[in-house]
Chain A
């Protein structure tokens, strides 16, 4: 079998359209996931018993179920349970928010708690309220430690968007699948799809490396 470059050339506009959706879902989903993750992580680390239990239940629920099941639930089950109509795009983004949020919560909790407790005491001893200690002292130290595991999670979430093929979101993998079904050029199409994913994850890795290098690690 010969590798036919023209197949890729023809497929490229559609694949790039898919990649654009993949990026959109990832970026919006991770932005939400960071908010949820910080909230849940801080609740786990510093919340009272009730907040801690809520965050714990959420994290365990998400980590204990596959993301495909989660997105199916959001897309198919939620409309039946509550009267919420969701389009595939919303379901996909919500799935990333909820899923990445749980993993990010563990990263946030771990890195905040890894900061030497003497720093917290030094901050409190100056007469600061706890929230200022978290924002100005522990947060900046913890944040630096978060970057490598966060980068890892970003890449995982980006690749997880390919699973949303099951609800028919036209992201990169779905586009590849559709073109392949029409022309049966599996080698060319999946090679092109793989390379596009590599370009996206590679860019992400590069951004994280640069950020990491620019910050003094503590």
Chain B
């Protein structure tokens, strides 16, 4: 049973075609690592899944709901598909705890006490139990990104989308975020991750997708592809990110 299904999805920005009739089916439990040159459409593909970008052609079905089925259904999709951004995008006027409790309160309608209780547990899970009362501006990048992961998890999504979650971080802060993501994958979360972290792709990924110019050109097992790919452009790409 696929949880995400692209059927000939096309996305354009004005004259620019960013996704060209993409077909892609992702099953529950998969950890898909998405790579490709800058501008190949990775972020756009991810953002189409939770309808932050509207598709222009084809159909895209997430957990049995089409992204074309109207605003209230789109909101359901967004609750099923949590998103983590490159720039964290934490709410600056809220503490870490409030950030995490926000979704359950305002989306799921939990009471403040319940939401806070849940948020504490989630912060504990990402290793930030003692940082709950800090504002985002008082946290390091790695800590902020872990709060952002907890915030997305708080809405209890079935699927998590990560758009270069470690690219804005100093190298020494990346592993703390990657560790949280790995733990999440080990719990069985379905994940789609745009990243340049090839070690993560090899160790955690169950599937590697290489995008080029709005199309999926390679799709397969990460270990095999990273060791020895037949696609010359993928080999070339991997040489640059390594």
- Does B237 touch A at the CB level, under 8 Å? no
Is A155 among interface residues, defined by CB-CB distance under 8 A? Answer: no
Return chain B residues, CB-CB under 8 Å to A124.
52, 78
* Contact among B89, B135, B151, B155 with A118 in the assembled complex (CB-CB below 8 Å): B89
Interface size class of B (residues with CB under 8 A): 20 to 34
**CB-CB < 8 A to A116: which residues of B?**
89
Query: Are A122 and B78 within 8 A (Cβ)?
Result: no
- A79 contacts B by Cβ under 8 Å: no
Distance between B81 CB and nearest chain A CB, rounded to angstroms: 8
Query: In the bound complex, what is the Cα–Cα distance between A147 and B207 (angstroms)?
Result: 50
Could you tell me the distance between the alpha carbons of A194 and B92 in the complex, rounded to whole angstroms? 42
Q: Tell whether, in the assembled complex, residue B91 and residue A119 are in contact, meaning their CB atoms are under 8 Å apart.
A: yes
Q: Chain B 151-165, CB within 8 Å of chain A: the 1/0 string?
A: 110010000000000
Contact residues of A with B, CB < 8 Å? 116, 118-119, 121-129, 132, 136-137, 140-141, 144, 216, 218
> B83-100: which have CB < 8 Å to A?
83, 85, 87, 89-93
Bound Cα distance from A137 to B155, whole angstroms: 16
Known contacts A118-B85, A121-B52, A136-B102; A127 and B75 CB within 8 A of each other: yes
A118 to B85, CA, bound (A): 8
Q: Would B106 and A121 count as touching, CB distance under 8 A? A: no
Task: Chain A residues near B89: list those with CB within 8 A.
Answer: 116, 118-119, 121-122
| For the complex of A and B, 8 pairs with smallest distance between CB atoms | A127-B79, A118-B89, A122-B89, A127-B78, A125-B83, A218-B92, A126-B103, A127-B75
Q: Quote the shortest CB–CB distance from A39 to chain B (angstroms).
A: 23
Is the Cβ of B87 less than 8 Å from the Cβ of A118? yes
Distance from B54 Cβ to chain A, minimum over Cβ atoms (Å)? 12
28 residue pairs of the A-B complex, CB under 8 angstroms, read A116-B89, A118-B85, A119-B91, A119-B92, A121-B52, A121-B85, A122-B83, A122-B151, A124-B78, A125-B82, A125-B83, A125-B152, A126-B78, A126-B82, A126-B102, A126-B106, A126-B152, A126-B155, A127-B76, A127-B78, A127-B107, A128-B75, A129-B71, A136-B102, A136-B106, A137-B91, A141-B92, A216-B135
Given that A118-B87, A121-B85, A132-B106 are known contacts, is A126 also in contact with B79, CB under 8 Å in the complex? Answer: yes
State the CA gap A124–B93 with chains docked (Å).
17
Known: A116-B89, A125-B78, A141-B91. 8 other contacts (CB 8 A): A123-B91, A125-B152, A126-B79, A127-B103, A136-B106, A141-B93, A216-B93, A218-B92
